Structure 1
Amino acid sequence: MFDTLGLICMMLFHPLYADIQCMELDAQESPITNVNVDWRKMELSWESSRNFSEYKCIIMDRDMDYTETEVDSPLCSFPAELHMPLHKGVTFTIEVPNTNISKQCNFLPGGMNGSAIENFSCVIYNIFFMNCTWQAGRDAPADTQYFLYWQKSRDEEERECELYIKDENWRNMGCIFQNVSIGIEKAYFLVNGSSKDSLIQFYDEYIDLYKIEILTAPSNITAHCTRDPTGCIIAWRPPRTSHVENKKCFQYEISIQNKDEPKEEKKLPCVRNDSYEFQNYNEKKRYTLKIRARGKNCLVSSNWGEWSEPIEF
């Protein structure tokens, strides 16, 4: 038996068109009815014509990732760490333990197939700036306009993009954010759209902001060289970030190149301190030096960041 609820799901940001289709997993009619989802509070609720002391709630996405919880009333709160995109659809199951009673509901995003954005990606750069870009859905009507909303954490207010990147047809194809700071929670991004011709599917994604940051180059790089003993002490300051000050969170790659023989480049990829002793120094030669960094054992991007401007010593 199916129950289909056509609804406008308010979710976190903007009205999104969707259906919740429910069915009993057993032949008999289930006492569980009126299933509702409150995405703002991350809660699943229902009514029951019979009193039960225990329920089990399961939420599963199309990739078969799921989480379950047991409650003693017709209300399930999803865990705060649940980060499950909705644009592919989600299945909810409500069960009464030790019985055959259950109810399964599918969240089915509405809209024209192929109208949602594609190739969504974001990058953080220069410490406080973030760019997000996407491509129009391959089957989206020509007049489709897209809108980006995001939420840094569940405790913060949602925000719409304030500075869109537009294509030649004045369609929003990206967004530039300023004064972005990186937190410990995944940020939530949602892009929906509008068209005079049809409903537009939405796209959503959770992102660890620290993973998309391009680290700035180490700064204040110096090379102090001596003849006796022969060598150079190379020192620098770690990259600046909006959220990490611990020097131990970084590792460095150092490139030292002989100016007279550019092909003779010495690369040291796993330096953990913010200084290094270069022992192959020859005072009769000139060298160029540059350094870049990546995160290590902290909430810092593990990708190599920008190279510093070369210095000569």
Structure 2
Amino acid sequence: LSDIFHFKYDTRRTHSVRTVALHDGFSARVRTWLLREDLRASSDWVQGNLPPLPGAAGTSVTNLSCVTRVTTPGNVSLHCTWLPGRGAPEDTKYFLFYRYETHTEECPTYARDKWDRNTECRFSTTQIKPGEIDKLIVIHVNGSSQRAAIKPFQQLFNQNAIEKVNIPRNISVSLQQNDLLATWEKPISPFHEECFEYEFSLVNLKSGTKQILRMPSNSFRVRLDGGCRYSVRIRANHNRVCRAAVFWSDWSEIVYVGQNKLENSMAWILILLCVSTSCTFLLVAIICKINHVWSKLFPPIPTPSNKFRDPFPIDYE
């Protein structure tokens, strides 16, 4: 066993339950202590071993990473990704299972790489309980291939350490004279409002100045330059009072407030230009229409043509 999975403790019980990864094997040693006021003695160690799980070296998945998210107040989704082992044949098929408390379930939906190997898994619903503290999620990935025995891989995740917070909801941003006022609701979560902190991104689109402000509440007020346009985004995370902060939520959609003075001037210029151009075309059309009606009412008198020949022509010779 590696040091990270090394446990040593005392107990008065005759059994012990621990959740550990077993793909590299497991070893346990136990001895008895006799403790009396005038006597302190111990037995010899006895040891039990579990061999490593079978499979060819280098065929296990690598870079296993998982994230949970509270999709509704009572449901948690699970998303895991991994890379195939360097020694895994191209026909390898990986299969992922998660275990939470006594519940075990295989992944229902996989994504594949260009060799058609499973490299990503999504559980839209799970038995993971939102709001629990320091519960372990066991991920087990095994595989099959006609060219090699695929070695299974196991990894333990603390559900608090891999939860990604949802985006804040119902964001409202408004300008009151030269003050920006923003309010929002906490993300979907079983935790109370006091368990969240927020980052507020404010960008001045005229100067390019960007500020990221951290705050513990779900409202914000700041003085702005009334002649500039701004973009606003917000994201959330747990604070350390209720739970360890690991993954910030995604940023909310951008909200724009304000308008540059130059943009206002250009807008008025464009409006006036459009109006004047329209009026000019309308005047020309009216003039053309009037000339056309006038020509219909008073057509020009035609010049008579000489259609009759003189019956008595004069010959001067």
| Bin of the TM-score, shorter chain as denominator length | 0.5 to 0.7
> Equivalent of 1:286, from 225, 229, 233?
229
Q: Deviations over 1:208-251 (max 9, x none)?
A: 23432333322222234333xx523221112223xx24111111
> How high is the sequence identity, in percent, across the aligned residues?
27
Partner of 1:217: 167
Q: 1:235 to 1:188 in 2, by over 3 A?
A: same
Partner of 2:286: none
1:200 paired with 2:163, answer: no
Partners of 2:245 and 2:5 lie apart in 1 by 28
Q: How far off is 1:150 after superposition?
A: 0.6
Partner of 2:290: none
- Higher share of residues assigned strand: 1
Q: How far off is 1:99 after superposition?
A: 4.5
> Equivalent of 2:24, from 71, 75, 88?
88
Q: How far off is 1:118 after superposition?
A: 1.0
Match of 2:228, SS? coil
Partners of 2:150 and 2:3 lie apart in 1 by 20
Partner of 1:19: none
Q: How far off is 1:300 after superposition?
A: 6.2
Q: Deviations over 1:57-84 (max 9, x none)?
A: xxx7543621334346xx4122xxx442
Counterpart of 1:102, as a letter, is W
Partner of 2:65: 121
Partner of 2:6: 65
Q: How far off is 1:125 after superposition?
A: 5.1
Partners of 1:115 and 1:189 lie apart in 2 by 17
Where structure 2 has 5 or more consecutive residues not aligned to the other structure, the ranges are 34-40, 258-317
Partners of 1:306 and 1:118 lie apart in 2 by 26
Partners of 2:180 and 2:169 lie apart in 1 by 18
Where structure 1 has 5 or more consecutive residues not aligned to the other structure, the ranges are 1-59
Partner of 1:267: 212
Q: 1:234 to 1:103 in 2, by over 3 A?
A: same
Q: Is the 8 A contact 2:90 2:117 kept in 1?
A: no
- Higher share of residues assigned helix: 2
Partners of 1:141 and 1:223 lie apart in 2 by 54
More divergent stretch after superposition (62-71 vs 90-99): 62-71
Match of 1:63, SS? helix
Q: Is the 8 A contact 2:66 2:81 kept in 1?
A: yes
Counterpart of 2:237, as a letter, is R
Aligned residue pairs total 240
Q: How far off is 1:276 after superposition?
A: 1.2
Match of 1:66, SS? coil
Partners of 1:64 and 1:188 lie apart in 2 by 14
Q: Deviations over 1:238-276 (max 9, x none)?
A: 2223xx241111111112222322x222221x2000001
Query: Please, what TM-score do these two structures have when normalized by structure 2?
Result: 0.67
Partners of 2:11 and 2:191 lie apart in 1 by 41
> Equivalent of 1:176, from 103, 117, 122?
122
Q: 1:198 to 1:225 in 2, by over 3 A?
A: closer
Q: 1:142 to 1:311 in 2, by over 3 A?
A: closer
Partners of 2:32 and 2:139 lie apart in 1 by 35
More divergent stretch after superposition (134-143 vs 110-119): 134-143
Q: 1:171 to 1:276 in 2, by over 3 A?
A: same
